[in-house]
Amino acid sequence: MPIHVAITRRVRAGCEEEFQQALREFFRESFRQEGVLGASMIVPPPGSDSREYGILRTFAGEAERDAFYASPLFQAWEQRARQLTEGEPVYRELHGLEAWFCAPYAPPPPRWKMALVTLLGVYPVSLLIGVGPGSWLATLPVWLRDLIVAALIVACLTWLVMPALTKLFHPWLEPHER
């Protein structure tokens, strides 16, 4: 399974263009690293006072991620980026819902497609859990029963159903090769 990492950096005032150019160059170089599947830059909205930039990286797996962050290429980027940014970058590995529709080289699919695929996952899982374990929990207080059922649904969707559905529907979600 691919691993998605979201990085947030605060760019120094007046360094925004230089940071974007340096990041684009780093992206080009980083694709030469084995196991780097994708990278994208998320810029603040036009007219915003924010200087928070996002970077989304996708790796083939844990070993490739670890090798990338230990590489001389990444260490050189860190030194360059520190000259253009303030504070420490924030790294967060994406899991579950936030990573379901994350695809390297591509923007996310239209929301209506994501909603439809999610519905195709939620509906049968909620039916199965409602008839299976949900019926066994009938003697519990309603708030506790609903909490357990919701946790089971979320767990099934996160680790079983949505990864399978996004793989199955990938040609429809991302119809054009990028």
Domain ranges for the chain, please list them.
Answer: 3-94, 103-173
Q: DSSP character for 132?
A: T
- Residue 134 three-state SS: helix
Across the chain, which has 178 residues, the per-10-residue mean pLDDT values are 90 96 96 91 88 92 95 97 96 68 55 82 84 77 81 79 78 63
| Predicted local confidence at residue 2, as pLDDT | 83
| Predicted local confidence at residue 123, as pLDDT | 86
In 3D, which of 117, 120, 129, 116 has the Cα closest to residue 156?
129
The pair phi, psi for residue 33, each rounded to 5°, is -75, 135
| Predicted local confidence at residue 149, as pLDDT | 79
| Predicted local confidence at residue 105, as pLDDT | 41
Q: What H or E segment, with its residue span, contains residue 39?
A: strand 36-42
CATH architecture observed for domain 3-94: 2-Layer Sandwich (3.30)
Cα separation, 19 vs 23, whole angstroms: 6
pTM of the model: 0.58
Residue 52, token pair as written in the block: 């928070």
| Predicted local confidence at residue 147, as pLDDT | 80
CA dist 141 to 67, 137, 138, 156, Å? 49, 9, 8, 23
